[in-house]
């Protein structure tokens, strides 16, 4: 049972304890006039969950979650205690078992929510931290006190929820007959084609309602959107038989070299990739000097349209990346992969064709305007209506996720579009921005949809504060 008392009573109790200690003449006791909270932690807490009953009704259940691994930071200057990494969604913060350590055997108490009365803090009694609470630590002598504001942060969103939101409807985007999206820094770009030729628009990632047209200093091919890539903060384009680059938001384009390519495929973190007229893959670090890449299968196994080149740096070694080249043909989709190392002394690895086995029920569907991006440590694909082997597939009906580098692709209802979604099935683009938002930009309707998995937007604060 908690004991509630006022501060004068606490002082008397502390002094009595001190006087009792002096009754033993053979022992020397040290009295401390200062104190502070030096550690705060929580233990196993209750988490609320929801499920559907056999009657289809919402049913609540509770589970126990070990939260002892969540670090609490103690700001001794501002006297604030909090967990930078919030506890999981559904944790009941009104019943928290906590352990508090104080310097020099200080006595830790908690202030009542409604008045100034104090209660002892023990490891046996649960405390209500559903709102900020005040902990008061009293020195061993009872002559000094420190107050701390304690905040036990709990996520207000489910970690893995995702929902599309309609951010804007734009007439200029609606008028495009083809498009491709790119993310550079704090902007999302849409490069497309209308009846008058190439068009470039961009929007600030924090404001998808406003789009500004970018006017390049050179005339670009009408279909240049098919031949653009982004490497770092620089854009590259293949237009008029020449390679170009821009580092000012696709306005000023500088000629790099004359080339004879059929397609600029994309870029990794350090190299550009293009497809020659004889269907050989070439790569370049600067857009000027190009080298032929080794390929483990015949060139006729390469995709023919709807190219996506993606780069996934390895978690275990950021100097090594897995590249994926996906696209479609008239009959089936095709996927190639490559391991790329940034070390100048590393051996160049070949492109490897992902041969689809006959028993693979989860191959990448062959969809019009197939779009593939990296998202949430996986590959995410969506497309328009099916063609060839995927004839009959409904446009935008499913999103496909690959967790094994493009070998298998399983549909995931998490990303399903809204009933209000309207788009041409051959003119649209999917982009991931610097804030981990997905942008689904629609031709014909001009709709701009955005969404993000909740956990990808959570602050990634330091979670350990050691000495």
Q: Are residues 303 and 219 in the same domain?
A: yes
| Secondary element (H or E) of residue 11 | helix 7-21
464 within some domain? no
Q: Are residues 22 and 129 in the same domain?
A: yes
156 within some domain? no
Q: Are residues 212 and 278 in the same domain?
A: yes
pLDDT at 59: 78
| Secondary element (H or E) of residue 49 | strand 44-52
> What are 272-329's pLDDT values in tens digits?
999 999 999 999 999 999 999 999 999 999 999 999 999 999 888 888 999 999 999 9
In the predicted model, is pLDDT for residue 434 greater than 70? yes
How many domains are there within the chain?
2
Q: Are residues 279 and 145 in the same domain?
A: no
* Residue where one domain finishes, among candidates 122, 151, 180: 151
Query: How many whole angstroms separate alpha carbon 288 and alpha carbon 258?
Result: 8
- Length of the chain in terms of residues written: 467
Please report, for the domain that includes residue 114, its CATH number: 2.60.40.2340
- Which range among 99-108, 219-228, 347-356 has the greatest average pLDDT? 219-228
> What are 47-64's pLDDT values in tens digits?
998 776 666 677 788 999
In the predicted model, is pLDDT for residue 20 greater than 50? no
Least reliable range by pLDDT among 187-191, 192-196, 355-359, 433-437: 355-359
pLDDT at 141: 82
Above pLDDT 70, what percent of the chain?
90
262 within some domain? yes
DSSP for 98-145 reads: EEEEEGGGPEEEEE-SSSS-EEE--SSS-B--SS-EEEEEE-TTSS-E
Q: Smallest Cα–Cα separation from 211: which of 195, 192, 231?
A: 192
In this prediction, residues 4-30 reach a mean pLDDT of 47
pTM of the model: 0.79
Q: Are residues 230 and 316 in the same domain?
A: yes
Q: Are residues 124 and 185 in the same domain?
A: no
Strands 438-442 and 58-66: unpaired
Q: Are 234 and 277 in contact (CB under 8 A)?
A: no
Query: How many whole angstroms separate alpha carbon 420 and alpha carbon 422?
Result: 6
Q: Are 137 and 144 in contact (CB under 8 A)?
A: no
Q: Are residues 235 and 301 in the same domain?
A: yes
Name the residue range of residue 145's domain. 4-151
* Residue where one domain finishes, among candidates 151, 185, 212: 151
Query: How many whole angstroms separate alpha carbon 144 and alpha carbon 141?
Result: 7
Please report, for the domain that includes residue 413, its CATH number: 2.120.10.80
> What are 78-121's pLDDT values in tens digits?
999 999 989 999 999 999 999 999 998 899 999 999 888 999 99
Q: Are residues 318 and 259 in the same domain?
A: yes
Q: Are residues 129 and 173 in the same domain?
A: no
pLDDT at 30: 52
Q: Are residues 96 and 181 in the same domain?
A: no
pLDDT at 317: 87
The pLDDT mean for the chain works out to 90
> What are 352-393's pLDDT values in tens digits?
999 988 888 999 999 999 999 999 999 999 999 999 999 999
């Amino acid at each position: 049972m908690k004991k509630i008392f006022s501060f004068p009573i606490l002082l008397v109790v502390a002094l009595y304890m001190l006087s009792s200690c002096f009754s033993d003449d053979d022992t020397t006791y040290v009295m401390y006039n200062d104190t502070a909270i030096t550690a705060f932690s929580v233990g196993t807490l209750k988490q609320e969950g929801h499920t559907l009953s056999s009657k289809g009704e919402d049913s609540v259940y509770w589970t126990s979650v070990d939260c002892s691994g969540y670090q609490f930071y103690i700001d001794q200057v501002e006297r604030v205690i909090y967990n930078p990494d919030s506890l999981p969604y559904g944790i009941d913060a009104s019943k928290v078992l906590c352990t508090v350590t104080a310097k020099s055997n200080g006595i830790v108490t908690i202030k009542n929510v409604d008045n100034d009365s104090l209660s002892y803090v023990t490891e046996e009694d649960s405390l209500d931290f559903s709102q900020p609470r005040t902990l008061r630590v009293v020195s061993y002598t009872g002559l000094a006190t420190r107050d701390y504001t304690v905040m036990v942060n709990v996520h207000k969103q489910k970690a893995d929820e995702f929902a599309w939101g309609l951010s804007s409807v734009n007439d200029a985007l609606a008028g495009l007959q083809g498009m491709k999206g790119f993310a550079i820094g704090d902007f999302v770009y849409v490069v497309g084609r209308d009846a008058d030729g190439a068009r470039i628009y961009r929007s600030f990632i924090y404001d998808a309602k406003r789009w500004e047209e970018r006017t390049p200093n050179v005339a670009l091919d009408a279909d240049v959107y098919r031949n653009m890539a982004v490497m770092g903060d620089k854009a590259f384009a293949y237009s008029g038989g020449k390679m170009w680059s821009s580092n000012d938001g696709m306005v000023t384009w500088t000629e790099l070299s004359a080339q004879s390519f059929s397609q600029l495929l994309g870029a990794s973190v350090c190299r550009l990739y293009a497809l020659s007229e004889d269907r050989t893959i070439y790569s370049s670090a600067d857009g000027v000097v190009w080298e032929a890449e080794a390929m483990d299968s015949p060139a006729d196994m390469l995709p023919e349209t709807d190219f996506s080149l993606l780069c996934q740096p390895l978690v275990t070694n950021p100097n090594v990346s897995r590249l994926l080249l996906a696209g479609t043909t008239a009959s089936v989709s095709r996927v190639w992969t490559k391991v790329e190392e940034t070390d100048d002394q590393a051996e160049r690895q070949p492109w490897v064709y992902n041969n689809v086995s006959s028993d693979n029920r989860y191959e990448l569907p062959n969809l019009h305007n197939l779009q593939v991006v990296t998202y949430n440590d996986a590959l995410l694909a969506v497309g328009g209506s099916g063609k060839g082997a995927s004839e009959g597939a409904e446009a935008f009906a499913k999103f496909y996720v690959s967790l094994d580098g493009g070998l298998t692709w399983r549909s995931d209802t998490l990303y399903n579009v809204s009933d209000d979604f309207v788009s041409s099935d051959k003119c649209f683009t999917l982009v991931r921005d610097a804030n981990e938002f997905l942008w689904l930009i629609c031709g014909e309707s001009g709709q701009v949809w955005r969404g993000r998995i909740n956990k990808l937007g959570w602050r990634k604060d330091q979670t350990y504060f050691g000495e």
